[in-house]
Amino acid sequence: MDKKETTKSGYIEAIGRRKTSTARVRITESSKASFVVNGKDAKDYFQTEDTRRLVQDPIIKGITALFPGKKWSVEVKISGGGIHSQAEALRHGLSRAFVKLNAEARPKLKALGFLKRDPRAKERRKFGLKKARKAPQWSKR
């Protein structure tokens, strides 16, 4: 096992992104497990089952598999985008933090596709067009 990188405060920090969302994740070993997103409990912040599953996948497959008896405190600050892209940004940030915590998690998380940043984003609008690709109505005569 590689030695984990911690700052003076004793936490591991990573950043995850998706579209315009950015998630700053801090993981600390603590006596009781907690998961706080923008000052709220994660279950209150992500209310749909789909977004909760996006966030819990790297936790279940990453940290609980590698450290079965330990408890962790996760604190997240998310900004920008919608709730679904925020959940995907959080998944990306959590996965990066777990790799910093333990390098043995990298192959498993990489195989699941959690470490790759999804490059798809909204295409910019071009001048002379209505939207990114939609042209104004054209009349032959």
Range of the domain at 17: 11-112
Is 45 within a domain? yes
Residue 8: predicted pLDDT? 60
- Total tally of structural domains belonging to the chain: 1
Phi, psi of 64 (to 5 degrees): -70, -30
Backbone angles phi, psi at 137, to 5 degrees: -60, 135
Q: Please give the helix or strand (H or E) that residue 37 lies within, else none.
A: strand 34-37
Q: Is residue 59 part of a domain?
A: yes
CA 97 to chain centre: 10
Which residue reads 């959080």 in tokens? 90
- Token couple for 84: 């679904």
In this structure, is residue 138 part of a structural domain?
no
Residue 89 lies in a domain: yes
pLDDT tens profile 85-114: 999 999 999 999 989 988 888 998 899 899
List the CATH number of the domain containing 32: 3.30.230.10
Q: Is residue 44 situated within a structural domain?
A: yes
Distance CA 95, CA 66 (A): 13
Residue 119 lies in a domain: no
Residue 65 lies inside a defined structural domain of this protein: yes
Q: Determine the pLDDT at residue 14.
A: 97
Domain presence at residue 74: yes
